[in-house]
A and B are shown apart, each in its own frame.
Chain A
Amino acid sequence: MKRVILPIAGIATALLVLALFNTNVPLPGRSIVHAQGVATATSRPVSDNEVNQISRNLYCPVCPNTPLEVCETAACARWREEVRDLLAQGKTEAQIRQYFIERFGVRTVGTPTDPTSQLLNIVLPFSLIGLIGIGIAFSLRRWRSNKRSKPDRDIIRNSEVSPDDYRARLEAELEERD
């Protein structure tokens, strides 16, 4: 039974993490409103803080691993202004992310967007850890069963040593030496 439960639990955990991980990303069945082509809403003033809030979770399409919010290049300054324009048009964060994905590819969001990639990037490493865990569990069980079937005189059994006993004895012996 445990053999079945462990992998299921591992996959369930991975899916849970996947769900947590993916709150901003459109899932299958969820409709995606494309930024381009959507009727422009009433323009409104947009603060730097609002732009940063969105840019923080986008990556510069040119510089490696640099969030759009902090990238110093002129191109990124322009893209931040595009974020401002899109916000002024009333676009949501999900729509702006989608807009950037369509223009520059998935690397601009730093996270996989299609379900297969999500499964690959989350479930696969978690499964690997789960497999290592199963291996460890089996090793521990084998060690325990070997222990029961083949008692070793070098191993001291039935010992439940209280840390206090141990310390008291140790300190007593140390005192004798001092």
Chain B
Amino acid sequence: MLAELGIVTSGLALLCAVFGLLASAYGAYNRLDRWVLSARNATLLTWPLLTTACIALIAAQVSGEFNIAYVWSTTQSSEPLFFKITALWGGQPGSLMFWAWVMSTFTGAALLLNWRSERRLMPWVVTFTMATLAFFLILVVLYENPFARYWTIPGGEDVITAVFAPAGASLFQPSDGQGLNPLLRHPGMVAHPPMLYSGYVGMTIPWAFAMAALASGQLNTNWIRATRRWTLVAWLFLGLGLILGGRWAYDVLGWGGYWGWDPVENAALLPWLTGTAFLHSVMIQEKRGMLKVWNMFLIILTFLLVILGTFSTRSGIVASVHSFAQSPIGTPMLVFIAIMLLGCLGLWVWRWQRGDLASDNQLDALISRESMFVLNNWIFVGIAVMVLWGTYAPIFTELIRNEKITLGAEYYRAVVVPLFGALYVLMGVGPLVAWKKSSLAALGRTIRIPVTLTTVTLIFLFVTGTQSPGALFSYALIAFAGYTTLVEFYRGVRARTSRGETAITALWKLFGRNRRRYGGYFIHLGVVVMGIGTIGSTVYQQQTQETLNPGDTITLGNMSMVFKDVFQADAVDGRGMVVADVSVYRAGQYVGDVRPRKDFFGPKANPMTIAGQYSTLESDFYILLNSWEGNRVTFKVFLNPLVNLVWWGGIMLMIGTAIAAWPSSERDAAVQTLESRVLGQLQTASD
């Protein structure tokens, strides 16, 4: 019954999406409101249909309907309820349906929130969002149906997997399922995929608005204004997904790090990079009416990278610890990417050639905020090119030289890290350069304070023992960016406190008055904190591997551990565990016990190494149980200084994004208008 319900609702959702796509395009082209409204209704209908399909699948997972192949492959009777529910995105067919549901949710929300204000764009927005949704639903319904069931034919020995019953077949009911992939049984992995999907799907909304602007010819800044918040929300989810993925890798993969330049990690990073570039460059279009061609290109590129990332994860084209197995959806996805690439770029070039994307203004000076944003975009796109090349190097090199070359962390460290360094320099200089025109003399005056503070910090670091040239140089760049941001906050607060406000009130009002600017600066601070954590935890990471008897000790820096005991246990979910009891000491003082362990999920699966961690803001003492023989245990121990700043910086980044995306009140909107006017008057006055 649940399978039938899922098959019918997902099939109807596909029909609605196809109808929405065709009716909206026809209605928009011929200016027929009835068709457009009908398309809108069909689009909105996809959400309850897909919600029902998802609920049906979850219900099947929870109730143990193992005759459904997907339920059998991702759940097990003994699993906790929580993992039975999250198994919805634990395999390819379910995750594709979940992807479609998220897409339908975002599209419905965009229609409801923007229908009145962006009436001219919305018919085409429906067309482009439904084109994407219809494609994913085709994959769900025709290629990877999560409701396919096991059947047996009387007299036949084989079990057949099919959506509909073959002639004379009866349902085959396995007694239990295989269970969720052990790697996915972690809280980080529970939240990581929905966040990433929301980020991916969220980016299709600004793309759809951009394409609607190109299709309809409404190429003023309306589409950017309408989608700024959508882009920020998508960027927030994508960033959160990346950070949660890093945390998952840190806790579960057992190698003491959080970013391994894995192809699937990179696939999620790519649209984040181009999305970040887009978020910066749209400011120039909003303020100056410039970079229209470039902004269109960036959002198209971001969308294509979203689809490429999804394709890479699911086609098996790049091998990764994360990716789903090779599956039949590779070819249709490749065809979809090709159609989108040609369609989007064709529309973009056509408008460009017609002169519809011409800038309203010209660049006033090479030293200006606009130039800084252009440089920022160059570096972000540069990093994206490098990461793209590194990720798909096996394919590129096989095509060019018939030799598959995989590029590892060494490549990324050499080519990407310097570019990130350049970004920190720009984060330090950019906010100090005025819009339209500045001069070296003016820049010199404003840059003095951050440079002085950076110099003092460097001297302090050197005196207190940081003597690695690489670390000092990196910290200099990061400190410079951080001090510039703090100085910007200080100036804003000072201006307000001079009117009698307290510093806290002034800071609060500063955020309230210009959420976008100060939310952005808060994001910069988050990136600075993450940078400090990254340098500390990579340059100064210490590690050792030793085999201990009970009572033996390992010491790293000011931390030490005493191995007490090792024992075996069985978890309620059927997992076998080998657990070590370890006491942790900090500067000779006992601070607590940790239990590093290995989890075993049956004879076929590799064991999982779960670290025992003693965490402070200063460092993470990270203990892995490597192997054991009787009472002798081999531990691998890491001391990761400042690693927790990476997570705290990530949280700051999220808070900053939420501040920037938070809707402004009408008064705030008036202030922003006033701001622009004041700026204009001041500039006119200086003529």
Contact = CB atoms under 8 A, between A and B. Distances in A.
A157 B368 CA distance: 13
Of A57, A65, A164, A177, which is in contact with the most chain B CB atoms at under 10 Å from its CB?
A65
Contact of A161 (B361, B499, B686): B686
Contacts of A143: 359, 362-363
A171 B405 contact: no
Closest CB pairs A-B (n = 8): A110-B408, A64-B319, A21-B414, A159-B683, A48-B545, A147-B362, A143-B363, A70-B255
B119 interface: no
B320 interface: yes
A75 to B, nearest CB: 11
Contacts of B434: 160-163
A12 B393 CA distance: 22
B639 to A, nearest CB: 14
Interface stretch (B47-55, B100-108, B201-209, B378-386): B378-386
9 contacts: A17-B418, A21-B415, A24-B410, A49-B545, A64-B321, A111-B411, A122-B415, A140-B371, A160-B438
Interface stretch (B7-15, B582-590, B670-678): B670-678
Contacts of A154: 360-361
Interface in B309-328: 318-321
Given A121-B407, A158-B686, 20 more contacts: A48-B545, A65-B320, A110-B410, A117-B403, A121-B389, A132-B385, A133-B382, A140-B363, A140-B371, A144-B363, A144-B365, A156-B687, A160-B442, A163-B491, A166-B679, A167-B495, A168-B495, A170-B678, A171-B495, A177-B674
Nearest to A176: B674
Interface stretch (A1-9, A36-44, A86-94, A123-131): A123-131
B505 interface: no
Given A65-B319, A129-B382, A175-B499, A152 B362 contact: yes
Contacts of A161: 434-436, 679, 682-683, 686
B90 interface: no
Contacts of B286: none
A157 B364 contact: yes
A110 B495 CA distance: 54
A110 B407 contact: yes
B267 to A, nearest CB: 12
Interface residues of B, number: 80
Contact of A112 (B254, B405, B543): B405
A168 B681 CA distance: 13
B364 A147 contact: yes
Contacts of B609: 72
Contacts of B499: 171, 175
A109 B408 contact: yes
B362 A144 contact: yes
B464 interface: no
B686 A160 contact: yes
Nearest to A20: B414
A27 interface: no
Contact of A70 (B254, B319, B371, B405): B254
A133 B363 contact: no
Interface in B448-473: none
Contacts of B442: 160, 162
A136 B405 contact: no
Nearest to B400: A120
Interface of A: 17, 20-21, 24, 47-49, 52, 57, 59, 63-67, 69-70, 72-73, 106-107, 109-112, 116-117, 120-122, 124-126, 128-129, 132-133, 136, 140, 143-144, 146-147, 150, 152, 154-171, 173-175, 177
Interface of B: 253-255, 260-263, 318-321, 359-366, 371, 374, 378, 381-382, 385-386, 389, 393, 397, 400-401, 403-411, 414-415, 418, 434-439, 442, 446, 491-492, 495-496, 499, 513, 543-547, 606-607, 609, 634, 636, 670-671, 674-675, 678-684, 686-687
A151 B446 CA distance: 29
Given A160-B437, A160-B438, A175-B499, A155 B364 contact: yes
Contacts of B405: 106-107, 112, 117, 121
Contacts of B435: 161
B634 A48 contact: yes
B406 A65 contact: yes
B418 to A, nearest CB: 7
A67 to B, nearest CB: 7
A121 B411 contact: yes
Contacts of B681: 169
A162 B679 CA distance: 10
Given A21-B414, A160-B442, A59 B408 contact: yes
Nearest to B598: A72
Contact of A156 (B547, B607, B683): B683
Nearest to A133: B378
Contacts of B385: 125, 128-129, 132
A132 B383 CA distance: 12
Given A65-B263, A155-B361, A57 B410 contact: yes
A121 B366 CA distance: 33
Contacts of B547: 48
A144 B319 CA distance: 47
B404 A107 contact: yes
Most buried by B among A117, A126, A129: A129
A111 B386 contact: no
Given A65-B320, A140-B363, A169 B255 contact: no
Contacts of A175: 499
A45 to B, nearest CB: 13
Contacts of A165: 682
A117 B401 contact: yes
A177 B361 CA distance: 31
B410 A152 contact: no
A121 B513 CA distance: 48
Contacts of A156: 436, 680, 683-684, 687
A140 B362 contact: no
A59 to B, nearest CB: 6
A134 to B, nearest CB: 11
A24 B606 CA distance: 32
A59 B363 CA distance: 49
Contacts of A49: 543-545
A167 B491 contact: yes
Contact of A52 (B407, B411, B545): B545
Contacts of B418: 17
A51 B643 CA distance: 25
